[in-house]
Amino acid sequence: MKPDLHLLETEFSFKTSRSGGAGGQHVNKVSTKVELDFNISESKSLTDEQKEFLLEKLGSKLTNDGILQIISQSERSQLGNKKIVIEKFYELINECYIIRKKRKATKVPNAVKKKRLLNKKFKSELKKLRRKDF
């Protein structure tokens, strides 16, 4: 079951720091980079089943402590980066709950097999005709 994402917002912790890249003096004096930290295993809003599910799905995106970190520094304002980070969080959680279709194995049709064999036979005959000692 999918968790209520707006309840999780109370458990976010934000860190800000100076962004890298171009921007001149403004970049050097303003902390616009925003990092969202969300500890899945210590969340009070998630059930144990939801925690296990998210830890399994997001395993590669978590730190060693089980904290999901999302960073944004694309905007020039801290508020803009904060909005982007929250949107990324929602997208990531929603992606976990999308059920992927399983791939159906298909069989190569007989007509395709026959066509390939005929083509091979034709090529070999052509090459036989090119030889001097046929």
pLDDT score of 63: 83
28, 13, 3, 16: which is closest to 73 by C-alpha?
16
pLDDT in tens, 7-32: 777 778 888 887 776 667 776 777 88
Does the residue 105 lie in any domain? no
The amino acid present at 76, given as its one-letter code, is R
Does the residue 38 lie in any domain? yes
Q: Is the pTM of this model over 0.75?
A: no
**Separation of alpha carbons 35 and 42, rounded Å:** 18
pLDDT score of 57: 82
**Total domain count, the chain:** 1
For residue 128, the SS3 value is helix
pLDDT in tens, 32-66: 888 988 888 888 888 888 888 888 888 888 888 87
Range of the domain at 52: 5-96
pLDDT score of 72: 87
The CATH number assigned to the domain holding 86 equals 3.30.160.20
